[in-house]
Amino acid sequence: MNKKEIIAKAMEIPGMVSEWDLDLIYDHSISILAVGGKAIEIGGWKGRSTYVIASVCKEKGATLYELDTFAGVEDPKSRKNEQDNLNGYYEAFTNPDFINIMKGYLEGLPVTYLKGDSKETIKEIPDRSCDYCFIDGNHDSPAVDEDIKNCLKKVKIGGLVTGHDHGNPDTTVREAVDRIFGTDYKVGEVRPLKGDPKYCLTIWSHRVNGNEI
């Protein structure tokens, strides 16, 4: 499939990653992933962004490590309103087989699933072995800081560490990225979510140089 077809297929999977963000995820992964290389995604929910990265991996003969608890957020009581629950964000809590929802969407793609806390499961990946990482797991500090720092150890010098929700005021992603990288990172196109200028779930990216931590 070409880029347009991959993104269209990914948009059929439930999720919060926008079509224009998927476009950038595709561009990042296709440009940086080596033939036979490895990529990491932390937090994939049902697999929308995962589908794009894994499709590029398939084209490159590469492998995607998918790190997730496959159990939603930590506290189901933290939902802001009942609509969140109706939208299915918390269904993982009532479905112990939730991981297979993602596997169903990603059938035939080269994905290795590492189930559990990303701080622990990422230890299974050798240092400096990956070309690309996309972080969209726990969006609050200190967890997001830890995910970024851990990925910096796993990605090769010259590779990309990227993440979602840079412009989301309900998270501390932007603050974490600023703390770790200062101004040494790029931000994708800023588009308000559903027309609300407060919510711009933009992708950030940093090229690894080995001097970050």
Contacts 24+ apart (CB under 8 A), 118-122: 118/42, 118/43, 118/67, 118/68, 118/147, 118/150, 119/143, 119/146, 119/147, 119/150, 121/67, 122/40, 122/42, 122/67, 122/150, 122/151, 122/154
pLDDT of res. 196: 62
Q: Are 29 and 132 in contact (CB under 8 A)?
A: yes
- The DSSP secondary-structure symbol of 123 reads G
Instruction: Name the E strands within the chain.
Output: 38-42, 63-68, 111-115, 130-135, 155-163, 186-187, 204-207
* CATH topology (fold) of 3-207: Rossmann fold (3.40.50)
Amino acid at 124: E
Amino acid at 142: P
Over residues 7-34, mean pLDDT: 94
Query: Domain residues of the chain, as ranges?
Result: 3-207
* Most confident segment among 90-94, 183-187, 189-193: 183-187
pLDDT of res. 77: 45
Distances (CA, A) of 203 to 26, 33, 139, 165: 12, 18, 13, 6
pLDDT of res. 87: 46
Is 194 or 126 the better-scoring residue by pLDDT?
126
Q: Are 24 and 128 in contact (CB under 8 A)?
A: no
Average pLDDT, the chain: 87
